[in-house]
């Protein structure tokens, strides 16, 4: 098959890049180049921001009823195109089709939340705060906002951002990952078909040059970023230095504690699915199991069985549980970390290195891997592996488990498996992590709550989507008003206004 070309979407249509730089898009199951991505230059950045700025002026004045109608239409469009979107995700990301459909379903939820924008934007009103004076507050859009997104959820993460930003009256520029950009164009096309005016949703393809251009452009008012911690920190600092509102979600190292009283079958099954699902390329993947007391041996044995039973194949195969990693570099990184852990004394319970998938020998596969007796000084613990590797550590008490989690620089998600309400309560209150699961391994909040970590997993004050999303994408205005009768005493004063 001839490689395809992916370009921008500006002002309601696909737009060819004005420069000549490109990067390769791979099909990771085949290990082959599938297409070429056109990368933005300065002229593309100027065009997309100008288009969004113009669109933001009229879109911000469009009635909430009209915005809501378009959001409802978009929800139906996305649901109807699930198969096409999932196929594009699997082709470039590698995850299995059922998982690709799962991320679309979670994205749909955010649109459903945004359909209730009239409720979310209700302001406060105080009648007669002073004699003949009323006071009320409203929230208004920022203007132009950009979303810079990672490869691992090429539609869900953009949908964490754009429905809320657009519902609030902003124009949105999506800068997707270079690894799996095709689905962003399908998303753009569906927004247009749903009736969104041209320029309200745009896609700028590119790399660091595109990101820096958005961070520095005076007409970009807000930036939502999701990706790795070093880039999140950079985007936050640069965006703030250029006067923008920024929320930047970073990487993770998610721990799950298994208490000796837990249902071990339940815990082992959930841990393995949360560690190996999407080949571990989820910011909420479980990468560290902390076995407390005598939970360790029984858990390790059950995890060995689960790891052995995972079907690793091309994500398009109906029986596949897990597909390849996204790039050859990712495959090499994960393999290196396993080798280093083994050399440092970890016990390899299941080894996914060198896995060969028949007919897909060049694919970027690593099989499910379980490492026991991992210490916190090993690279398997200190690095975000972002692959199908579950590491096990052993501690004596819940207090020791909580101390380990709180000493980790990340703080995205965590969980505990136990049958003790007291242990669960102690854990939920003392752990320094943004999202906590009790007998739930991947506690991603539904769209009516907000998503976000602590520490190096989030820079900025607001979590993403939900009520925090509405706050992030709007500015508050408070109005104090009086409608005096003719000849009424003016109330003007040289002293600071105080009311009766």
Q: Contact positions toward ligand NAD, by CB under 6 A?
A: 148-153, 157, 175, 177-178, 207-208, 211, 226-228, 231, 249-252, 283, 384, 386, 412, 453, 457
* Whole-number Cα distances in Å, 365 to 180, 266, 326, 356, 494: 17, 27, 9, 7, 75
Sequence-distant (6+) residues with CB within 8 A of 225 are: 147, 148, 149, 231, 232, 235, 236, 239, 246, 247, 248, 249
**CB of residue 254 vs ligand NAD: minimum separation in angstroms?**
9
Neighbours of 345 (CB within 10 A): 10
DSSP state of 416: E
Greatest CA separation for the chain: 90
| CA-based torsion, 157, 160, 161, 162: positive or negative | positive
Nearer to ligand NAD (CB atom), residue 226 or residue 392:
226
Angstrom distance (rounded) from CA 237 to CA 460: 10
Name the residue nearer to ligand NAD (CB basis): 204 or 313.
204
Q: How far is the CB of 230 from ligand NAD (least distance, A)?
A: 7
d(CA 416, CA 479): 47
Nearer to ligand NAD (CB atom), residue 410 or residue 473: 410
Token pair belonging to 305: 């069985």
Q: Using the CB atoms, write b or e for 446-482: b if 16+ within 10 Å.
A: ebeebbbbebbbbbbebbbbbebbbbbbbeeeeeeee
Residue 297 burial (10 A CB sphere; 0-12, 13-18, 19+)? exposed
Measured from the CB atom, is 300 or 385 closer to ligand NAD? 385
Closer to ligand NAD by Cβ: residue 44 or 384? 384
> What is each CA distance from 87 to 9, 24, 95, 337, 389, in whole angstroms?
20, 19, 10, 31, 26
CA dist 283 and 292 (Å) reads 24
Q: Is the dihedral of CA 433, 436, 439, 445 positive or negative?
A: negative
Phi, psi for 389 (deg, rounded to 5): -125, 120
| List of residues 6+ apart from 346 with CB closer than 8 A | 371, 372, 373, 374, 375, 378, 380, 391
Of all residues in the shown chain, the one whose CB is closest to ligand NAD is 227
| Closest separation in Å from C-beta 130 to ligand NAD | 45
**250 vs 323, beta carbon nearer ligand NAD:** 250
* Positions marked catalytic: 283
Nearest distance in Å: CB 138, ligand NAD: 30
> Tokens 């005016």 correspond to what residue?
197
As a whole number of angstroms, the distance between CA 168 and CA 467 comes to 11
Smallest distance, Å, CB 113 to ligand NAD?
17
The 10 Å Cβ neighbour count of residue 13 is 11
Q: How far is the CB of 298 from ligand NAD (least distance, A)?
A: 30
Tokens matching residue 119: 């409720």
CB of 194 to ligand NAD, least distance (A): 24
C-alpha dihedral (81, 86, 88, 92), degrees to nearest 10: 160
Nearest approach, Cβ of residue 105 and ligand NAD (Å): 17
CB nearer to ligand NAD: pick between 41 and 420: 41
Pick 191 or 459: Cβ nearer ligand NAD: 459
């Amino acid at each position: 098959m001839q490689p395809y070309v992916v370009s921008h979407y500006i002002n309601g249509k696909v737009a060819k890049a004005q420069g000549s730089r490109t990067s390769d898009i791979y099909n990771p199951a085949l290990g082959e180049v599938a297409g070429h991505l056109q990368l933005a230059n300065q002229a593309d950045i100027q065009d997309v921001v100008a288009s969004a700025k113009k669109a933001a002026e009229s879109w911000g004045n469009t009635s909430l009823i009209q915005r809501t109608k378009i959001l409802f239409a978009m929800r139906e469009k996305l649901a109807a195109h699930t198969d096409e979107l999932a196929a594009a995700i699997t082709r470039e990301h590698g995850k299995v089709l059922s998982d690709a459909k799962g991320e679309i379903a979670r994205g749909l939820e955010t649109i459903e939340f945004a359909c209730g924008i009239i409720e979310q934007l209700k302001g406060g009103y105080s009648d007669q705060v002073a004699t003949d004076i009323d006071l009320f507050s409203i929230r208004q859009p920022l203007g132009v906002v950009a979303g810079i997104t990672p490869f691992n959820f090429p539609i869900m993460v953009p949908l964490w951002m754009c429905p809320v930003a657009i519902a609030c009256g902003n124009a949105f520029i999506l800068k997707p990952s270079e690894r799996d950009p095709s689905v962003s164009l399908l998303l753009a096309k569906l927004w247009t078909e749903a009736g969104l005016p041209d320029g309200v949703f745009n896609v700028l393809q590119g790399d660091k040059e595109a990101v820096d251009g958005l961070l520095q452009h005076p007409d970009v008012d807000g930036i939502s970023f999701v990706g790795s911690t070093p880039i999140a920190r950079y985007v936050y600092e640069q965006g703030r230095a250029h006067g923008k509102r920024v929320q930047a979600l970073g990487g993770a190292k998610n721990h799950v504690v298994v208490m000796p009283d837990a249902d071990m079958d339940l815990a082992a099954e959930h841990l393995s699915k949360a560690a190996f699902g999407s080949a571990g390329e989820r910011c909420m993947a479980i990468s560290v199991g902390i076995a407390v007391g005598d939970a360790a041996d029984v858990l390790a044995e059950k995890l060995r069985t689960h790891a052995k039973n995972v079907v690793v194949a091309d994500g398009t195969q109906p029986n596949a549980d897990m597909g390849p990693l996204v790039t050859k570099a990712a495959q090499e990184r994960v393999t290196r970390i396993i080798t280093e852990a083994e050399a440092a004394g970890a016990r390899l319970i299941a080894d996914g290195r060198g896995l060969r998938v028949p007919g897909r020998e060049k694919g970027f596969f690593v099989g499910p891997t379980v490492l026991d007796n991992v210490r916190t000084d090993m690279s398997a613990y200190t690095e975000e592996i972002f692959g199908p590797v579950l590491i096990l550590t052993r501690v004596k008490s819940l207090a020791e488990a909580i101390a380990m989690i709180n000493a980790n620089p990340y703080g995205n998600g965590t969980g505990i498996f136990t049958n003790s309400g007291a242990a669960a309560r102690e854990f939920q209150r003392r752990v320094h992590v943004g999202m906590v699961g009790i007998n739930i391994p991947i506690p991603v909040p539904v769209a009516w709550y907000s998503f976000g970590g602590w520490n190096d997993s989030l820079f900025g004050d607001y979590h993403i989507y939900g009520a925090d999303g509405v706050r992030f994408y709007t500015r508050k205005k408070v109005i104090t008003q009086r409608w005096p009768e003719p000849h009424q005493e003016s109330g003007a004063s040289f002293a600071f206004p105080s009311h009766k």
